[in-house]
Structure 1
Amino acid sequence: MITCYLRYEIPPDKLAEFEAYGRMWLELVPRFGGIHHGYFLPSEGASDVALAMFSFPSLAAYEQYRKDSAEDPDVQKAIDFARQTRCFRRYERSFFRPVLPKGP
């Protein structure tokens, strides 16, 4: 399993737009075989940072998602929404592998 961690820098006055953007991706990632773990919006502390995490069974599955999603009209809508609203300034993407308890 591979988990993608996204850290966004968001304008504080675009929080509602960013939340709408995130809700789009909550439905899109599972369509391509991933598990979305959610978006995490500012509450206390820094008001210009938001996070998101989603997982795929492997890096190869993630790469296939990137390829397949590039042609999807709903993905294009989400990308266009972000461009039009400027709901984030930039993002960083990192990948992690979980350490999970061993089964019986």
Structure 2
Amino acid sequence: MITCHVRYEIDPAQIEAFERFATRWMELVERHGGTHHGYFLPAEGASDIAYALFSFPSLAAYEQYRTLFGVDPEFIEADRIRDESGCVRRYERTFLRPLLPSTESQVSGS
């Protein structure tokens, strides 16, 4: 499994547009083989930082999903929300390998 962590610098005045953008991407990730763990929006502290986490079974599966960027009409429409509103000022992606609790430790109560 590969998990992508995205750190967004957003325009706080465009939070509603960012929420529309995020909702579309959650749907697209889920529809194309990934698991979206959600977007995390500012609540306290910095008002211009948001995060997203989503996973794919493998890097190859993620790369297959990426082939749709700029080609698939739904992907283009989702990006149009960002581009037309200016809700995202910049973003950084980091790929992570999750270490999850094992079934054995969950059963034994560890």
Work out whether the TM-score is over 0.5: yes
Instruction: Give the alignment's TM-score, normalised by structure 2.
Output: 0.89
Unaligned runs of 5+ in 2: 105-110
Q: Which has the larger radius of gyration?
A: 2
Instruction: Give the alignment's TM-score, normalised by structure 1.
Output: 0.94
SS in 2 for 1:89: strand
CA deviation profile, 1:15-68 (whole Å, cap 9, x unmatched) = 111011101111110111000011110000100000001000011110111013
Could you tell me the percent identity over the aligned residues? Answer: 57
Q: How many residues align?
A: 104
CA RMSD of aligned residues (A): 1.1
Task: Say whether 1:87 aligns with 2:80.
Answer: no
Cα drift, residue 94 of structure 1: 0.2
SS in 2 for 1:28: helix
